Structure 1
Amino acid sequence: MSVTKSAIISIVGKPNVGKSTLLNQLVGAKIAIVSNKPQTTRTRITGVLTKDDCQFVFLDTPGLHKPRSRLGDYMVKVVNDTVTDVDIAALVVDPVPRIGPAEQELIARMKQYHMPSVLIINKIDTVKNEDLLAVIAAYSQAHEWDAVVPLSAKTGENCDILFEEFAKFAIEGPQLFPDDMLCDQPERQLVAEIVREKMLGLLDREVPHGTAVAVERMRERDDGLIEINATIYCEKKSHKGIIIGKSGSMLKKIGAQARADIEELLGTRVFLELWVKVKEDWRNNQYQMRNFGYEDE
């Protein structure tokens, strides 16, 4: 069946509610990195799924938070811009009957722009039905939702219902992306994000939040193996030592975990070489942020 309509959907919410996990579940592939640390996503990632006669375009945004650096300011701007220029705004929340400041601000924007809005209550696999009713009641008092969908991004439970609700707001028009396209990010960017994800999982405290990854080279050899050279940039010399680890042990662990995911992404064997360099206070440097793809011209 040919695509005759599309829906552009912004996935918003506070940090660590499962937005990237949901995006990966909806698209059916890992295109956004996931960790249990807040502010894992830094840029707006576009996921695409062509289903029956409709193309769904998902915008995964950074969690709305109080910025503490120029990078933080950029991340908040991404959220605010994304909420205002889509067909549907989907607010992802934890199954807690309390509306926090980030949710209140996002709901206010939805009201301001009179846009179709869907409330997604994530992590229903962790709560009882009666607790879920209290969450629905609290959010229903705050806003008149076009749909409320409790689901589990982790297991995929009720994601089919979410697609049905999204399809109701699809707009007639031409196809936006090719049928087989899942993400608008170039492979280099996806590779860099996978390396950063492994640091988020393996390193403690503020160290991974002060890092950025740049893929310097990707080259396919005659035997099909892909050689990748990437540099991890951190803000402090002490952080460099932590990332490398004793006798290079931590860097080897980061590389081994990243290589496994990159091979799955690219569908071929990979040789990954990682370097670590210090760029002090890069999160407040407009030039450096632009180099890492985090700021508009």
Structure 2
Amino acid sequence: MSANSGPRSGYVAIVGRPNVGKSTLLNALVGQKISIVSAKPHTTRHSILGVLNASDDQAVFVDTPGHARRSKRAMHRLMARAFLHAVEDCDLVLIVIDAKGATAADRKLFELLNDRDARAIVVLNKIDRLRAKSRLLPLLEELGRYPFLVLVPVSATKGDNLDRLTAAILEHLPHGPPLFPKDMATDRNAEFRAAETIREKLFEQLHQEIPYGLTVEIEHLSKGGDGRWLMHALIWIERDGHKPIVIGKDGRVLRSVGSAARTELSAMLGGKVHLELWVKVREHWSDNERELRRLGFDSP
């Protein structure tokens, strides 16, 4: 509990350009896998809540889609709205940048947040990749010109300095009781997390060939009397020509995806999972707001 003043709680938006490690940071802070992780840009498409309880204090993190240039595509518009909605409604902002240096995109984000800078903690991520910590000095000097609350260098993958970051976050949250039950780790249900897990495994298998217009929908999820889960998942793509890529020669890609996903899903659901995958075409789904909402995309 925060000293002499009762518990603190609030919403913390995690923002930054694509591929700076926002989802990895969320998972590290919460202590379990909440958001999928990939080296590919725009892996995170939704705002996802992750809850950290520290004694009587509670931080509710909102993992946001990576902030990038504007686009006319419906999916990009919804991702941008999710980003802005999270920032507007939060009590605190974590601005995640690569410890190697601030880019033009980072500076544009600082300008966009503007009056939120004074309610922001800057997280300098991936310090484990710096050969010499002295390389942080020019970046610290540059960031010192902004009215940020504090600058915290961390390695989300290694766990370095996360205790200091957690303490800084809790210190700057408003006073108030917990917003969610203490046994709740995320606001997303099993179907959503399962779909995201399968999408992550597709990203891992497809490497550079992955079609951008790809998503996963859980059509059926049930638990039998023997404790085994039955899951039917649809992999939606936008073109027939993408099917051979996603399925692979003799079905090898799909089998590998299914095998990797089953292992993680079994751990998540606490029982063996029988997973069936189908690849189907739905043209222009990523540019249709009605379809996006049906598939679980946020539309604040």
Superposed pair shares fold, TM > 0.5: yes
Q: Please, which runs of 5 or more residues in structure 2 have no aligned partner?
A: none
User: Residue 139 of structure 2 aligns with which residue?
Assistant: 135
User: Residue 159 of structure 1 aligns with which residue?
Assistant: 162
Question: Is the contact made by 2:97 and 2:123 (CA closer than 8 Å) also made in structure 1?
Answer: yes
- Secondary structure at 2:230 match in 1: strand
Q: After alignment, is 235-244 or 39-48 more displaced?
A: 235-244
Q: Which amino acid aligns with 2:168?
A: E
User: Residue 266 of structure 1 aligns with which residue?
Assistant: 269
Q: Please, which runs of 5 or more residues in structure 1 have no aligned partner?
A: none
Q: Structure 2 residue aligned with 1:225, among 223, 228, 237?
A: 228
- Distance across 2 between alignment mates of 1:113 and 1:90: 10
Which deviations, in whole Å up to 9, do the C-alpha atoms of 1:47-88 show, x marking residues without a partner? 001111201100000101124411011111211221122111
Q: Structure 1 residue aligned with 2:10, among 7, 19, 25?
A: 7
- Work out whether 1:34 is the aligned partner of 2:20: no
Q: Residues 189 and 294 from structure 1, CA distance in 2 versus in 1: closer, same or farther, beyond 3 angstroms?
A: same
- Work out whether 1:188 is the aligned partner of 2:191: yes
User: Residue 275 of structure 1 aligns with which residue?
Assistant: 278
- Per-residue deviation at 1:237? 0.6
Normalised to the residue count of structure 2, the TM-score between the two structures is 0.94
Normalised to the residue count of structure 1, the TM-score between the two structures is 0.95
1:226-241 → structure 2 map (5 Å cutoff): 226-241=229-244
Aligned residues: 295
- Secondary structure at 1:209 match in 2: coil
- Secondary structure at 2:33 match in 1: coil
- Distance across 1 between alignment mates of 2:102 and 2:9: 33
User: Residue 102 of structure 2 aligns with which residue?
Assistant: 98
- Distance across 2 between alignment mates of 1:216 and 1:123: 38
- Per-residue deviation at 1:115? 4.5
Q: Residues 75 and 191 from structure 1, CA distance in 2 versus in 1: closer, same or farther, beyond 3 angstroms?
A: same
User: Residue 112 of structure 2 aligns with which residue?
Assistant: 109
- Work out whether 1:289 is the aligned partner of 2:296: no
User: Residue 51 of structure 1 aligns with which residue?
Assistant: 54
- Secondary structure at 2:231 match in 1: strand
Question: Is the contact made by 1:4 and 1:54 (CA closer than 8 Å) also made in structure 2?
Answer: yes
Q: Residues 98 and 166 from structure 1, CA distance in 2 versus in 1: closer, same or farther, beyond 3 angstroms?
A: closer
- Per-residue deviation at 1:206? 5.8
- Secondary structure at 2:27 match in 1: helix
- Work out whether 1:123 is the aligned partner of 2:119: no
- Give the % identical residues: 38
Question: Is the contact made by 1:200 and 1:208 (CA closer than 8 Å) also made in structure 2?
Answer: no
Return structure 1 stretches of 4+ with deviation > 6 angstroms. none
User: Residue 85 of structure 1 aligns with which residue?
Assistant: 89
- Secondary structure at 2:207 match in 1: coil
